[in-house]
Each structure stands twice: as structure tokens, then as C-alpha cells.
Amino acid sequence: MPQLTERSERLLLQALEDSDIPNETNQLPPLLGGMTVVYWRKNVNDDIEIVLNSSHWFTGRLTCSITLGKLADSAIRYFPKDADAVSTLIEVLAYLRGNIDLLLPETRQGIYLRSYNLKSRKTLKKELAELQLELVESILTPPMTEAIVRFTKMNKRLRAEPKRGGSKARLEHLQRQSLHEDYDEVQRIAKLVRKSYLTTFKTFETTHSRNGYNWEEWQEFWVKYATELTGHEAEFLLLFAERDNPSASEIAYRWLVAQTGHTRSYVEALVIKSRKEAGKSKRRKD
């Protein structure tokens, strides 16, 4: 018995085409480095499935296939109009691709965090080994949060949940109160990453000085290298590769600007105000 109706197959193929997912015969050969290759094919049950080959440096390779017939049926059931069903299937494909691509990096970071969490329970003196564990935690903890944020965003996008109004992101009262802590945490991480950035750039410049390079080539190399090394998202890592060579403090401010949607001067004023109010609150408690 065929798994796909004529309509569900037609709309599913349209969604695959609009999502730039090729069929099995037209797939691109896999490349080295962290990337995900996706294509679709008909399986033995006459159902359409997507095959995802996810590869990450220092992490491993994942291959899986997902049948789409039942998902297409659900889209058609809830969205009678062809255009709406196709739009929904496009979001479904993006949701599946994005979450599967997170699986290996999250698992790798989970191993390191498990090591830290188990060892930190023991009563050890704060020697070099413990300091190294703290460094691992400081580098690896943020990407786990970012992965959760990314997963939440994809869930909201798939479900078409309404966004908050306004032209810019707004900070809640509690976020304003702790904004200086957010700044301090980002600056602390930026200091660690910037040390790696400066060392890597010096090596890159030495090895490429003979043939020359443009700044975009360096940015591409740095983001690819640092993503695999630290797990931070590309948007954050690109801040280090600006031509004006920003300090860790400046990177922290630029990151908060990107996350809040506010201007640079306004974010800085909010951080200063948050720090002052936190100090007053501590004095009142004493």
C-alpha cells in the first residue's frame, strides 16, 4: 500500500525543492569539516525520506533518515490550502535539519561537563587540575545555553508563535537589574577566547604571509576553527575578527547590543546603572 497520496507527494516535493534539498542522485559530495549534507529519496515502502549526514571536527559523524509521509499528511490535514501546507513543510524540514545538526556537538560538550560536574563534587584542593576544569566549564557552558536557545527558537518558529511587538528587543526589569552580571560573564569568556584569537591569528598570518590573504579568508578560517574548538556560535566569534581588533570589554558590549537590539551607548548606560543599583542593594542589606 503506497505511503503517500498524490497530493501529499506533490506538496512534499515542492517543499523539498523550495528548501534546496536535492534528491539522492543530485546530492553534493561530502566535504571535510563541520557540515551537514541533506538529500531526499524514495524508500522501499514508497515513502519519501530525508537523509542527513552530519560531520563535525573532533566530534564524529552522524547519519540518519527520517520518513516524511506522515508529517506531510499532518500538514495537509491542518492546512487545507496548498500554499499553507507547503510553507509548514518547509518549516518542518528546517526544524529537523537544525536539531539533528546540534546533536553531536551537544553530546560532546555534555561529556566534558559530566567530567567537570562529577570531579567538582570531590573535596579537592584548588590546584592546577581544578583550575583547568574551571576553564573547561567557562568555555563549554555557554554553548549548551546557546543550543537550548536555538532549539527554543526553532520550536517557536515551527509552531508560528507570535513575536513580541516593537521595533527593538526590550529588556525585562529583572534583566535590567542583572545586566552588569551578563556583561561581566561575556567579558570573562571573551578574555579567554581573545587569547586564542591572537595566538591563532599570529600563526595564520605567518603561514599565509608568502601568498597573501584577504580579511574575509581569515574570518572564515577563524570562525571554522574556533567553532570546533570552543563551540561558541559564529555570530559571537566574528566579533573577535573585526578589523579594529576590539578588546574583550568592547566585544562584550557589542554582543549585548546584538542580543538586546539597543544602541551601544544605551547598553553601556544600562550596565553602569545596573551595577550601581546592585551596589546600593548590597549596602542596604548590610
Q: In what order do the strands lie in the sheet with 48-56?
A: 35-42, 48-56, 60-67
Burial group, residue 118, by CB count within 10 angstroms (0-12, 13-18, 19+) = exposed
Q: What is the pLDDT of residues 173-203, one digit of tens each?
A: 555 667 888 889 889 999 999 999 999 999 9
Burial group, residue 48, by CB count within 10 angstroms (0-12, 13-18, 19+) = buried
Lowest mean pLDDT among 35-44, 73-82, 125-134, 155-164: 125-134
**Distance from C-alpha of 180 to C-alpha of 236, rounded to nearest angstrom:** 18
Between helix 264-285 and helix 179-208 the angle, nearest 10°, is 130
**Distance from C-alpha of 132 to C-alpha of 281, rounded to nearest angstrom:** 34
Q: What is the pLDDT of residues 31-75, one digit of tens each?
A: 444 456 889 999 888 899 999 887 765 567 788 999 999 999 999
**Distance from C-alpha of 84 to C-alpha of 90, rounded to nearest angstrom:** 10
What are the φ/ψ torsions at residue 272 (nearest 5 degrees)? -65, -45
pTM: 0.47
Query: Region 262-285: what's the mean pLDDT?
Result: 77
**Distance from C-alpha of 190 to C-alpha of 22, rounded to nearest angstrom:** 39
3-class DSSP state for residue 52? strand
